[in-house]
Homo-oligomer: A and B are copies of this chain.
Amino acid sequence: MEATEVKMRQNEIIQPLLTDLYQLTMAYAYWKSGKVDDTAVFDLFFRKNPFSGEFTIFAGLEQCIKFLFNFRYSDSDITYLKQILPPYVEEEFFRYLKNLTVEDVTLFAIPEGSVVFPRVPLLRVEGPLIVVQLLETTFLNLINYSSLIATNAARFRMAAGKRIKLLEFGLRRAQGPDGGLSASKYAYLGGFDGTSNVLAGKLFHIPVKGTHAHAYISSFSTLADLKTRDLAVYDENGSDLIESRDFVETCIKRRDQLATLLGILLQEANDGELAAFISYAMAFPDGFTALVDTYEVLRSGLLNFCAVAVALSDFGYRPIGIRLDSGDLAYLSNRARDAFRKIAEELTIPWFAQLSIVASNDINEETILSLNDQHHQIDCFGIGTHLVTCQKQPALGCVYKLVEINKQPKIKLSEDLEKVTIPGRKDIYRLYGSDGHALIDLMQKHGEPPPLAGNRVLCRHPFLESKRAYVNPARVEPLLHIYWQNGRCCQPLPSMEQLRHRVQHQLGTIRQDHKRNLNPTPYKVSVSDSLYSYLHKLWLQNAPIGELS
């Protein structure tokens, strides 16, 4: 049990009061109206995929479960609520709140890391009306941004392709400290390879990456700023120390030689930059990456880098590469690659041609697609603002809607078809074709016999009568699983690595045309014939007949 408690720990600000006040005023009004024993079912879903896309990655479920695990109003919460609620709110209600637990809540959910679509409930939350209502805001908060970032990351991954490394560099521009942490976590889940955020690395076991900033380069003015000059020389296997030698001298000699080779004027290369590179290489001889645009990439940074990188090779080390943080990234990456290849050939250092080129200047999905068209030579993108703030669309609009109360279905009507809810407890299935791709999601009334592989099933558009199709699935997957019941989490929570793999595997089951950047095809979400009739019967019962005069 103690081990569980440790595992279920989360940021202390995720607590029952992290909610809208109206959840608590409603709780009192429900309580006061004698609705303590009423039961309800809520669906949590979104209505539109983000980023003009046609898919979403579902994330944040584990946080919701931890929230349930830790759900308890503290004495100080109760004291505070007494202060802000009107004085006539009954003492008995506060006792009720103090003793309130989520033991009777049952949570069904689609597994975290799944590809999901509009209108399909990601969560189905059942239990005492008051309690399940109280979970709304926190659940929405925990799922909206997590899913948004995971989806954004997955889109960047698709744009960049599998070969390219993607690093999240957004902490400084994130929406608050936790905006940064959540971004690092869910970007990794969505397909990134690492983050610059050290705390995210520590908390979530994500690979952490980083080199240096422009300030590091600027902090050196001349070669005289170098206070140590010697670096250990290793043998060819990198295992045995042979001697210590003057590394600075080697770098300077190599720069003279490479200036001629690369056709760069020696006097234009900045000596402060060279000093900074040398000092950084001496600190991290096996991990040398240099930011090459502080002065001029082609007239200074590239030459200085190559000089130090070749010198490292002379000393038995293997540098990593360069980072470009400004300018025409496709052009510069090609010029850098040319230089690396020339050196590889002329100095017979074959791996020099494969040195890594990282690019990191305000990159978004479209930049990557455009760089692809320009045949860039970039191996790794560092992505900040556009990833973490989801600049293209900074919020996902998940909602939490009542679909059943005391076993009676509820429908929420709206003039806007998209906003009409699909009533009642529902089971959800994903039907797959024989090529392994998902064909359609199907919602059924709870208790209808599930669709069977090899059997034709009628799938209907929830609102448009004429839109329907027979589907003959090769495989049927029930999407909702029970995650919380009787006060316990009833599924093993997957590790971050498992979630990462799930996302990529799930994306593989979705047809390419649903995933493409430009004008993707909408994936179909349908209802069974029986749910269709039920929905429309309720709709007519609830919609008043208009009267024009």
Residue ranges of A at the interface with B (Cβ–Cβ < 8 Å): 11-15, 17-26, 28-30, 32-35, 38, 40, 42, 77, 80-81, 84, 86, 88, 129, 133, 136-138, 140-142, 144-146, 169, 171-183, 196-199, 201-202, 208-216, 218-219, 221, 225-228, 265, 268, 270, 279-280, 282-287, 294-296, 299-300, 326-327, 385, 389-391, 394-398, 400-402, 405, 408, 410, 412-415, 544, 547
Chain B's closest residue to A323 (CB) is B22
Contact of A395 among B84, B391, B544 (CB under 8 A): B391
Chain B's closest residue to A211 (CB) is B22
Q: List 7 A-B contacts (CB under 8 A).
A: A11-B11, A11-B13, A18-B177, A20-B172, A21-B208, A86-B287, A133-B216
Tell me whether A25 and B412 are in contact (CB under 8 A).
no
Once A86-B287, A228-B34 are accepted as A-B contacts, the answer to whether A176 and B21 lie under 8 Å apart by CB is no
CA distance A81 to B219 in the complex (A): 24
CB distance from A27 to the nearest CB of B (A): 10
Chain B's closest residue to A213 (CB) is B22
Besides A19-B199, A29-B280, 17 more A-B contacts (Cβ < 8 Å) are A17-B199, A20-B197, A21-B210, A26-B213, A28-B283, A29-B216, A32-B228, A35-B219, A84-B198, A88-B285, A136-B213, A141-B173, A173-B396, A175-B182, A176-B176, A176-B183, A389-B395
CB distance from A332 to the nearest CB of B (A): 13
Tell me whether A209 and B21 are in contact (CB under 8 A).
yes
Tell me whether B18 and A171 are in contact (CB under 8 A).
yes
Tell me whether A20 and B196 are in contact (CB under 8 A).
yes
Tell me whether B176 and A283 are in contact (CB under 8 A).
no
List of B residues within 8 angstroms of A402 by Cβ: 214-215, 218-219
Once A33-B282, A219-B402, A279-B32 are accepted as A-B contacts, the answer to whether A20 and B198 lie under 8 Å apart by CB is yes
CA distance A408 to B221 in the complex (A): 10
List of B residues within 8 angstroms of A174 by Cβ: 141, 144-145, 175
CA distance A180 to B182 in the complex (A): 13
List of B residues within 8 angstroms of A77 by Cβ: 202
Once A176-B176, A179-B176, A199-B17 are accepted as A-B contacts, the answer to whether A208 and B389 lie under 8 Å apart by CB is no
Chain B's closest residue to A282 (CB) is B32
Tell me whether A13 and B389 are in contact (CB under 8 A).
no
Tell me whether A544 and B401 are in contact (CB under 8 A).
no
